Chains A and B, each alone.
Chain A
Amino acid sequence: MRAHGFRHTRLAERAPRSFASFILASFSPFERRSTDRTLKKSPLPAVNAQELIPLTDPPMPLPIVIADDSLLARKVLTKALPPDWDVDVSYATNGREALGLYREGKASVMFLDLTMPDMTGYQVLEALQHEDLNTFVIVVSADVQPMAQSRVRALGAVAFIAKPVTPEAVLPILKEYGLYV
């Protein structure tokens, strides 16, 4: 685990701005999570602030997973991410690989296709619910039926992006959850 002070320095160097916005950037993902979901084991109470930050603040570069069986789709999505987003991208070609990467701690954010062989996106979401669901799942799918969207949200996905993915569709979601500022 990185030293607490070192992280502050790094973050401050990366994006110099007001103290208020710095605090917001560091904390907003997890404030959002704790209100959005009923966490089984909340890390927030009974921990002093010194310990809280390394526990809850995602590491930089942010580990993200792009899960899609199609190379074309993985390329399109990669290209739609903000070019200066400090991320460590891992790729999965099916649901099982995506789940494996999550368990290795490589998925602070997961871009998840729904129609994949060897575990669909739905099955991955279901499996994540039985784990600690310590990730932001953004479903990326060509299946734009309204019911598909409500289903994945009920299964814990924070957002739904219709294919073909554009930077304009990705950016507001990353900003909303404080994943990119």
Chain B
Amino acid sequence: MSEPVLTEDQRDALQEVANLAMGQAATRLASLLDAFIELSVPRVKVVAVSEAAQALREMTGIEDTVSAVRQGFRSDIKGEALVICRSDSIDQLCSLVSDPYSRSSYEAVSQQELVFDVANVLTGACVSCILDQLGRTPVFSAPGLLGEAMTLDEVFQPGVLQWEVALLVEVNFALEDQSFRAHLVMLMAEESIRHMNEALDELLSSL
């Protein structure tokens, strides 16, 4: 079984597709957080799930624990999206957000809500926009919390997630004054990656 790899043109196209998706997500996140989101070039990489933790550590520099929210998407390109952010950056995020989060007396609940909201915005906008550009209309399942304060190895441990391949999309949403970063990972079966490659080729040849 050969590793699904992207050609240079496919990788470039996917990166630009992700770039557009990031822009959509940033606009929605900016209005959610009432802050300007600075964007950088997204980086994309396809790895086996068994190597995802290490690859994500290298891309993001995350060594400590993270919160991860999962959400499934289905079309002929199907899989699961994970939104991952550093556990300690969530406090910073909460301090930025005014009502309803900061004034809530149930702080733990509202923090979780905030993480869900952020994850929902990122997954909804990014995954929809990526698949839309590839001519697919995904159906989403409800988001679920994979865990709080997990290590990246725990996120990608065998048996938790059923997918073979991880498409790492380094979505670098940095808040202007304080550093909050969120990362999006799309997990897929090899067959879906092949469909995606075909869709990218179609996109490129249409130009």
* Chain A interface (Cβ < 8 Å from any Cβ of B): 69-73, 75-76, 79, 114-117, 141-145, 147-148, 162-164
Contact = CB atoms under 8 A, between A and B. Distances in A.
Contacts, number: 59
13 contacts: A70-B19, A72-B16, A72-B17, A72-B204, A72-B207, A73-B16, A73-B19, A79-B207, A114-B39, A115-B40, A141-B23, A144-B27, A145-B27
Given A76-B207, A143-B22, A145-B27, 8 more contacts: A71-B9, A71-B12, A72-B12, A72-B13, A75-B204, A114-B39, A143-B27, A147-B36
Contacts of B19: 70, 73, 115, 142, 163
Contacts of A164: 20, 133
Contacts of A142: 19-24, 39
Contacts of A69: 41
A148 B36 CA distance: 8
Nearest to B207: A75
Interface in B110-160: 133
B26 A145 contact: yes
A116 B41 CA distance: 6
B30 interface: yes
A159 B95 CA distance: 35
B13 A115 contact: no
A69 B16 CA distance: 9
B203 A72 contact: yes
A145 B20 contact: no
Chain A at the B interface: SS class = loop
A157 B74 CA distance: 41
B71 interface: no
**Most A CB within 10 A of own CB, among B20, B24, B36:** B20
Interface residues of B, number: 24
Nearest to A163: B20
Contacts of A79: 207
Interface string B3-32: 000000100110111011111101100100
A142 B18 CA distance: 10
Nearest to B30: A145
A141 B38 CA distance: 13
B204 to A, nearest CB: 7
A115 B41 contact: yes
A71 B40 CA distance: 17
B36 A145 contact: yes
B157 to A, nearest CB: 33
A116 B17 CA distance: 14
A69 B19 CA distance: 11
B37 interface: yes
Contacts of B21: 142
Nearest to B200: A72
A143 B204 contact: no
A100 to B, nearest CB: 19
A128 to B, nearest CB: 20
A117 B21 CA distance: 18
A111 to B, nearest CB: 15
Nearest to A151: B36
